[in-house]
Structures are given as structure tokens and as C-alpha cells.
A and B are shown apart, each in its own frame.
Chain A
Amino acid sequence: MLPESFVYSQTSLQDFADCPALFDLRWRRRIKYPAAESEPLELVEAHMERGALFHQMIHQHTIGVPESVIAESIDDDELAVWWANYLASGLRGVPDKRYAELTLSVPIANRRMVAKIDLLAFEPGREWVILDWKTSLRRPTRANLMARLQTTVYRYALVEAGAALNGGAAIDPAQVKMIYWFANFPDQPEIFTYNAEDHAAAGRMLTHMIADIEQRGDGEFPLTDDVRRCAYCAYRGLHERGTKAGAFDAQELTDEATEMFPDFTLDQIAEVAF
């Protein structure tokens, strides 16, 4: 059973959509299984670190750290290119009011669901733009992005939380859009608009999905039929679905966070042998 304080996110919901057994192990039972998820690990690690730095740089930029100071911290050419791309086109045409790294929290199906948005740019009464920075090596197709839970969860959460962000007034779904901006393909952003029908459908789908998860018990989280996914799953050995991790450069999206506890930073606790 999920803990009382469990909070859903696009990551955990995507896991369930991809493979219920993965959701069970990672989120319900919180099992650590340190197998590589994609190879070569050296490349994966460097890419993840670079992606995290890039997100942090944009956060710094949004809160007013001077560009020259941020640029001084760039320590490799690829990151420098991403940064130049971001300055040239990352914010093209988006409103001036901005929140970086904003976490929205909304109730749904007797639980809460969070959406950690890279950047929210808005002009109240006119436009609410969710920007998501993607640093993957390959540009995902529009269809694949549309199918990602992230696209549904973020837009849904923004409209639901709208009144709290908009001085008490609800946000019209038609004013919401989500832009995936690609650091490696800066001139090919993918834009998803939204409307009231989409919002109602998203609510029904997410409610149904969460209710489905909640009513399942032990042994009711089957493995996915799509065995291609298993190469990228740390638990593949447990389910006898392969030994080697999948190829990193064959992945479409490579910068999804998979934190277990996305909303709380634990300090290290000094060691005291009471």
C-alpha cells in the first residue's frame, strides 16, 4: 500500500503507464536496485550532470544572477552551446512575468499530485506558458511528447492551481500552452495548446489512473508487455528480462528526473553514537 503521505507526480504516473510492476517496485515498495539503466554510464552521467547544470543556470538567470556571472561557470563546450541557444531563442515570445522551478500541488482522486515546472511565464488575463527545457540528444516526435504524462499533468495542474497564482481568479485553459524547448534543437520547439475540453479529459484520465493504482493490491501490478522498455529498467534482472542496460543514444528522452522524494531535501545527519 502507498504511504499516507504519498504524492503523485508525472514521473511516478509515467512509470505506472509504462509498467505497473516498475511503479510497484519504485514507488509502492521503494526498493533500491542499483543496476545501470542505460549505457555507457560515463556518457549518461556526463549528460545528466550537464542537464542539471543547464537547468540551474536558467534558474539563476530567472532570479537575476547576471548573465556574465553565469557564463563564467560554464565548463564545457556543449553546455556553452546550449546556453547560447537558450539566450538566443529559449525565451522567444514568452511573457515577462516568470517563476522558475515552480512546484504546483493539486488535489486529485483523494491524493495530491505535484508538477515541478521549469519555468512558468505569464501575462495574467492573456497567456500562461509552461516551458520545459529538454537536453536529450534526439528530438522526440510530437506524438511521443503528446503521449507523455508530463504534457497532461503540467497543463492540468496549472489550470487547477490557477486561482492561487492569479489573484484568486481561475485561469482559462485556452490561455495555457506548454512549450518543450530543445537545447540541441533550439529552433524546433514543440508547442501544445490547451482548452476546456482537454482539461476535462485530463482530469478524467488522471483521476481514473490514480483510482486504478489505489485499488490495486500486492501482486496486481503486472509487467509491461513491451519488453523493449525493460532494457532501460533497473529491475530487469529481478524479472529475468535481460542483463545489459539499453543504449543511451537510442533513447528519445534522457533527462527525466527519477527522484524518489522530489519535494523535500534531507540533510545529512551528523553521526552520533548515542
Chain B
Amino acid sequence: MELTDSQRRIVDSARDHTLFLTGDAGTGKTTAAVARILSLIEQGVPSGEILVLLPHAALALPYQRALRSAALPPGAQVDILTFGSLVLQTVKLFWGLAAKPAGFQADAPPNFLTLETAQYVMSTIVDPLIETRGYFDGVTISRNRLYAQIVDNLEKAALSGFPHTEIAERMKNAILTDSSGAHAFEQAQECAILFRDACRANNLLDFSLQVEVFTRHLWTLPEVRAYWTQRGAQLIVDNIEEGTPAMHRTLASWLPSVKSAVLIMDSEAGFRRFLSASPETAGALRDRCDEVIEFEQSLVMSPPVEALGDELARSLGEYAPEPSADPREALEYGLRRFYPQMLNWVADEITLLVKDQGVPPGEIVILAPYMSDAIRFTLMQRLQGEGIPVRSHRPSRSLREEPAARALLTLGALAHPEWGMQPAPFDIAYMLMQAIGSAGAGRTMDLIRAQLLAENAYPAETKSRLAPFETLKPEIQERITYLLAPRYEELRKWIEAYIVEREQAPAPTPTTKKKGRKKKNALEESPAPIAGVRLDHFFSRLFGEVLSQRGYGFHGDFDASTAAGSLVESAGNFRRAFEQTPLIPAGKTAAEEFVRMVDRGLLADQYARAWTLNDQTDAVLIAPAYTFLIRNQPVTAQFWLDLGSRGWFERLFQPLTHPYILSAIWENTRTWTDDDEQEARHDTLFHLVIGLVRRCRQRIYFGVSELGENGSANTGELLQAFGRMIARLTPPEAANEV
């Protein structure tokens, strides 16, 4: 690849030099860093000494592409790590050195919590306080969001570097609120402290504790520093503005011991501020590097796109130079009265781009601040109807919303009558539809047959076990069809056999524990008795022995098998995290608690999402605007929808947390004013708009409808700015239309 002079400087810089690269997105900094890695390897630097560190996984793509090329010489693999995985690896490897000083049991292994299992721990603390002492009575958000915000506060404290006991003080000092608001902050603080204590007592480490153990107890040890200094002697850190203060502090103390380093920072970014990204502490690292190199010339934007970005900036009240090209060459917009008309316009324009102008589908993205299922479905249907490949990046959804997972959970409840969960007849019918597939045209377990079967084989008044097919009235048997009957019977008998096997299982053998902990050896881990059911194993067996077999609904249905896989993983994580702890309420099992949590929507399908992160299909991407930004992959054409939405600049309503007040740079004596809020919104919108423009090569299409998706008129700031820009760029008679 032809490199620019600036990029060549990075590649050729000395191997004992630390560099700080800064500039706008799309100016070739990452390309320069990749070229430097390749150059180091070609010069004989051991690739095992080169470490690429990133704030999050989605940024790895350009490095992975380069490092997986067959043209690269053989050697040790270059490590690509996120800061989170560096922390996790360190804590796992050096746990024995940190456990005691950090207040854990050194003779027991650490148990790492996922986001979902951390929220479960929080629920065991928050729920009793709400139910017995009326905590959070003035806070009008769902329980799940309540747990998430308190967990988030702990992470913010750990990443920003202030004690987790200061969360409420910061919030109360900064936000002028009435006494009930102040109480809510204090209650959230109390819950955060109780959560931390519960984690310590049970060797559970959520992300906040992993960071604390790493920063306070491990990164200071010579063994740990030596280990990472060897693995990361040649360090490349990209997008440091999306990193956290904890990452920046680690880097500040790491830099003096590296042989060389390249730190890369995008200007006017820091999109993950809500996850404690700190462009301010990132910027301070420039003083710790030998040389600062500015990248100025965009290698992505055409001059008209650059001019369009300047016009948008000006419309948002920001300074921008006089454009050197005509922004209208990069601008298209469709004005429609109704939202569906606007979506049709988008689909038509994309069809033209792909079919008439030869733009690869993968070079097109459709963006909105929120991407509803309805928008996604409509656009996917339209584009697929035109034969254009399309992919969607949706936020994860609750496991209970996955039909296959719901069916498995219903079967789980049926197979464990001691839980007393008694699925509703509709859930049974829904399960039968999913589990028992089609025996050919006209012989499908459709909703009518499924409801008929559920009503008769699982009467509402008894709600216990499924009845044998042969006990149903003959006319009912006939309506359900004898072709479907064997499948129902096989499934029913499998469940029955499972119940009987568990009822007859011997009582648990007392295990001889070493040092009072855990099991003695594998042979004593025979299938657990009723109280110790392993739900993930149950799902796995049921899937393998029945549901994935020919004739059943999961057979060959890879969406269903993927959802089932996510459920198995989630149930396994949950069980392994909690089955040995006292956090499971007395008289309950981890399996029951898992089902209860899924039913409450606490557990989300995060597995499928991770699965698709590296998807490189050449297909039109439909994604929320921030998701696209965070992937950091420029495209030829962007379609912006919902310009009137407040989602372009407004934060989610989060009454118990705050990305600025709980940050490293906040002065604890300050008050968060309306002006601060206004400025934050403006900065958010400006950075988002500029960030998107800088990731566009040729053209931006603005889809504008008078009425939004929900039928009401929206007049958010981006729409107003867009209107001002169009008024400047178009003749008066045309501008009046906007």
C-alpha cells in the first residue's frame, strides 16, 4: 500500500521511540500503525513482543486483517487485546498474589461475573431492600435498569479511580435535588457497598472489582510488570480516546519500560463516555511520549463530504473553515410526509446505488439514533426483495424474547414440577409450536393445533404434567393429527423419564472437601439430585436427544439452535457463578433462580451479538449510529434517518448514574447546571455528526419525514441544523419546502 509522508514517518521511526499520533478519524493513523507492525516484523522484531491494545473489541478488525494475511512472515502471534481482557488475564494468572491483599479468600479460585450475573447479585441485594424497607420508592425505572445503574456506578468508580464509597457524595454535591432524590443516591450507595461486600465474601469479581484488583494489587507488582513488559515491549494502542482513565493510568506507568510505543488518538471523539471513556486523560498521555505527530489530511472523505461536514458543523454553531468544494455534491435528501414513504425512498436510493452505480452493498450503511425492530424489518424486507444483501446490528434482546429459548424454558418448568412454576397454557401451546415442527404441508403444529393440544393435554385446572396423547378424546386426537402425535409423545415421554430418573436418584453423597471447599473428585459428581439440577445440561440433553432430531422444530433451524446455544451458555454461567454461594435464596436452586431471572428479562442474549462482531459480509448495514461509529469502518454512502429524534443528542434517562459527574475529571465541589447539560448535549450531537461524516467517502443521504415513526412531528436539534444548512445551500423557493 502507498503510504503518505506522515504514515512513512511512523513506519520508519526508531524502535526505541514512543509516538503519540493525533488527528481526525480517517486520516490514516491506524493504517500507519498496522504498517509499522508489519515493518517491525520484517525487521526481525520478535512478533511475540508486539502487543496491540484496544479499548474495545470492535476496533480490532484492521489489525486482525493485516495479521492474518498469508504475506506476513511466520513467528509468534501478535497479541491483540482489549484493556478488559488484559485485566482479566492478569487477575486469572496472578490471582494467588492478589487475593489476600485484596480481601478475598486466596485458597479459592476467583469467580468472574458477567454483566448478567453481576446484575443478578445486585438483585439479591436491592430486591429485599425495596420489598421490606421501601427503597427507591421515588425512582421510576424498571428494576433491571436500577440494578444496571448501580453496577455501572461501581464500574465508573473503579475505571475513573475514585473510591466506590464516594458515589452518592458526588451525585448529591452535583445534582440539586429534593430529599427523596438525595435518599435515592444514598440508597444506591448503600447497595453498591453491600454488593461489593457480597462479592468479596464469595470470591466473585464483577468488572469493577477486576479493575480494582488489577490496578491496586497487581499492576504494582514487579512480576506482573515484567510479564507484560515482555509481552508488550513494542506497544500499539489505538483509539485511546475511547479508553478509560484506568487504561490511561496503566499506560502512563507502562510507557517508561517499553522499547517503543505508538499511541493513537482521534480528535473530537470519545463516543463511549457513558462507559467511562475519557478523551481528557487520554490526551494527557501525549506529554509522556517522545514525539507527537499530527495527522491532518483525511484519506476517507471526498472534498464535497468534507465540505458537507463543515456546513453541518456551522449549522450546529461550531467554527468551520470556508468549504473548498461544493457540499451539495455529497448531499441527497428525501422529504416525505409519512415515515413509511421515507423508508421507501431510502430503499429506492440504495437500489439505485447498488444496481445502477455499482456501489458494493457493504459500502452502504443506514443509521438512526435508535433502530426499532419495525424499521429494521421494513428495510430488510424491501432490500432483500430487491436482491440486495442486508445485515442488521440490533442491540441484544432479552433471552425470553427468543422463541426457541422460551420454548426451552417452558420445557424446563414442566420437567421440574418441584419448582411449582406451572407454565400458562399459552406458554405450553407456544412451546409445542416451537418444539414440534412440521410433518409436511397441512401437518404443522400450528397455533390452532398447539392451543388445542395444550388445552386438552395440559388442562388449566391441573397445570401439572402433560397427558399421554392416547388419553385425549378421539376427536381431539384427530384434529391434532396422528402424524404429529408420535412427536408429542416422544417429547412427553422424555420429560417423564427425566422426572422419574431424578425422583429415583440417590440422595447426594456427602463429599470430602479439601480445606472445606468444593468437591473431592470427579467421580463423586454423579447427576445431581433434585435440589442440584444443572439446567444447562438439561437443555443440552433435551436439544440433542429430542429437539434437534428430524421431525422436531429445532432440526436444521439454525436461528433456533443459536438461541438454544445462548441459553445453554447463559444457564451454565449462572450456575457456575452461584451454585456454591449463599446468594441463592434458601429453599431455591440456581436453576430456579435462572429461570426467574430470564422471565424478568434480566438476562440478555449477548452471545449471539459477540458472534456477529467480525461479520464481514458484503451487505448493507442497518445499525444504530453509535454502533456504526464504534465499529470505526468507513463506508461510501450513509443514510441518516430520524433527524428529528432527540436521541441524536439526549442521554438515556438514568436517574442514579451520570457519565460526567462520575468521571475522572469532575471536580467534586461543582454543581451540574442546566448550562452543563446543554453543553453536553451540544457536544454529543456535534461529535456524533462529525464522527459520522468523517467515516463517509462519497455521499450522505438524509431521510426526512414530517411525521416520525410513531406518527408525531419531531423537531430535534439535528433536524433544525439540517434545515438551516439546506436553507443556506439551496435557492429560496426550494428551501421553503424544508
Which residues of A are in contact with B by a Cβ distance under 8 Å?
3-7, 29-36, 39-43, 45-47, 50, 53, 56, 59-60, 63-66, 69-70, 72-78, 80, 99, 102-112, 114, 157, 160-161, 163-165, 168, 234, 236-238, 240, 243-245, 261, 263-274
In the complex formed, the residue of B with least CB distance to A166 is B46
Q: Which stretch, B291-299, B422-430, B610-618, touches the partner chain A?
A: B610-618
B contact residues around A4 at 8 Å (CB): 65, 68, 616
B contact residues around A112 at 8 Å (CB): 68-70, 72
Q: Which of B41, B47, B60, B569 has the most CB of A within 10 A?
A: B47
Q: Which stretch, B25-33, B510-518, B714-722, touches the partner chain A?
A: B510-518
In the assembled complex, how far is the CB of residue A114 from the closest CB belonging to chain B, in whole angstroms? 6
The interface size of chain B toward A, counting residues with CB under 8 Å, comes to 104
Q: Is B555 an interface residue (CB 8 A)?
A: yes
In the assembled complex, how far is the CB of residue B210 from the closest CB belonging to chain A, in whole angstroms? 11
In the complex formed, the residue of A with least CB distance to B614 is A5
Q: Please provide the 7 A-B residue pairs with the shortest distance between their CB atoms, ordered closest to farther.
A: A35-B544, A164-B75, A237-B548, A32-B565, A69-B96, A265-B85, A106-B74
For this complex, 29 residue pairs linking A to B, each with C-beta atoms less than 8 Å apart, are A32-B565, A34-B568, A34-B569, A35-B544, A35-B545, A36-B537, A36-B544, A40-B526, A41-B534, A41-B541, A42-B525, A42-B526, A42-B534, A42-B537, A70-B96, A73-B96, A73-B109, A75-B107, A76-B518, A104-B74, A104-B75, A105-B78, A112-B69, A238-B555, A267-B82, A271-B148, A271-B396, A273-B395, A274-B627
B contact residues around A45 at 8 Å (CB): 537
Known: A168-B44, A267-B56. A63 touches B93 (CB 8 A): yes
In the complex formed, the residue of A with least CB distance to B75 is A164
Q: Is B106 an interface residue (CB 8 A)?
A: yes
B contact residues around A268 at 8 Å (CB): 84, 114-115, 606, 610
Q: Which of B81, B92, B522, B543 has the most CB of A within 10 A?
A: B522
Measured between alpha carbons, how far is A160 from B46 in the docked complex, in Å? 14
In the complex formed, the residue of B with least CB distance to A159 is B74
A238–B548 CB distance below 8 A: yes
A contact residues around B47 at 8 Å (CB): 105, 164
In the complex formed, the residue of A with least CB distance to B96 is A69
In the assembled complex, how far is the CB of residue B550 from the closest CB belonging to chain A, in whole angstroms? 5
B195-208 interface bits toward A, Cβ cutoff 8 Å, 1 = contact, 0 = none: 00000000000000
Measured between alpha carbons, how far is A60 from B541 in the docked complex, in Å? 35
Q: Is B360 an interface residue (CB 8 A)?
A: no
Q: Is B267 an interface residue (CB 8 A)?
A: no
Give residues 63-96 of B contacting A (CB, 8 Å).
64-65, 67-78, 80-82, 84-85, 88-89, 92-96
Measured between alpha carbons, how far is A59 from B93 in the docked complex, in Å? 8
In the assembled complex, how far is the CB of residue A272 from the closest CB belonging to chain B, in whole angstroms? 6
Q: Is B227 an interface residue (CB 8 A)?
A: yes
Measured between alpha carbons, how far is A77 from B558 in the docked complex, in Å? 41
B395–A271 CB distance below 8 A: yes
In the assembled complex, how far is the CB of residue B40 from the closest CB belonging to chain A, in whole angstroms? 11
| Of B88, B395, B549, the contact of A272 (CB 8 Å cutoff) | B395
A contact residues around B107 at 8 Å (CB): 72-73, 75
In the complex formed, the residue of A with least CB distance to B538 is A41
Give residues 643-699 of B contacting A (CB, 8 Å).
647, 652
B549–A243 CB distance below 8 A: yes
A contact residues around B556 at 8 Å (CB): 238
Q: Which of B41, B64, B548 has the most CB of A within 10 A?
A: B548
A165–B46 CB distance below 8 A: yes
A contact residues around B457 at 8 Å (CB): none
B544-585 interface bits toward A, Cβ cutoff 8 Å, 1 = contact, 0 = none: 111011100001101001101110110000000000000000
Q: Which of A3, A47, A269, A270 has the most CB of B within 10 A?
A: A269
B578-619 interface bits toward A, Cβ cutoff 8 Å, 1 = contact, 0 = none: 000000000000000000000000001010011101101000
Give residues 1-59 of B contacting A (CB, 8 Å).
41, 44, 46-48, 56-58
B contact residues around A5 at 8 Å (CB): 64-65, 68, 614, 616
Measured between alpha carbons, how far is A271 from B399 in the docked complex, in Å? 14
Measured between alpha carbons, how far is A270 from B76 in the docked complex, in Å? 32
B369–A266 CB distance below 8 A: no
In the complex formed, the residue of A with least CB distance to B118 is A268
B606–A240 CB distance below 8 A: no
B77–A47 CB distance below 8 A: no
Q: Is B345 an interface residue (CB 8 A)?
A: no
In the complex formed, the residue of B with least CB distance to A269 is B56
Q: Is B528 an interface residue (CB 8 A)?
A: yes
Known: A42-B537, A60-B96, A270-B275. A35 touches B543 (CB 8 A): yes
A contact residues around B275 at 8 Å (CB): 270, 272
Q: Is B359 an interface residue (CB 8 A)?
A: no
Q: Is B519 an interface residue (CB 8 A)?
A: yes
B contact residues around A273 at 8 Å (CB): 370, 395, 652
B contact residues around A30 at 8 Å (CB): 611
Q: Which of B67, B521, B606 has the most CB of A within 10 A?
A: B521
B71–A107 CB distance below 8 A: yes
B76–A64 CB distance below 8 A: no
Measured between alpha carbons, how far is A75 from B226 in the docked complex, in Å? 28
Measured between alpha carbons, how far is A245 from B542 in the docked complex, in Å? 11
B contact residues around A243 at 8 Å (CB): 544-546, 549
In the complex formed, the residue of A with least CB distance to B550 is A240
B395–A266 CB distance below 8 A: no
Taking A104-B74, A168-B44 as given, write out 16 further A-B residue pairs in contact, using a Cβ cutoff of 8 Å, ordered by the A residue number: A5-B68, A29-B558, A32-B561, A60-B93, A69-B96, A73-B107, A73-B109, A75-B107, A105-B77, A161-B75, A164-B74, A243-B544, A265-B57, A268-B115, A272-B626, A274-B369
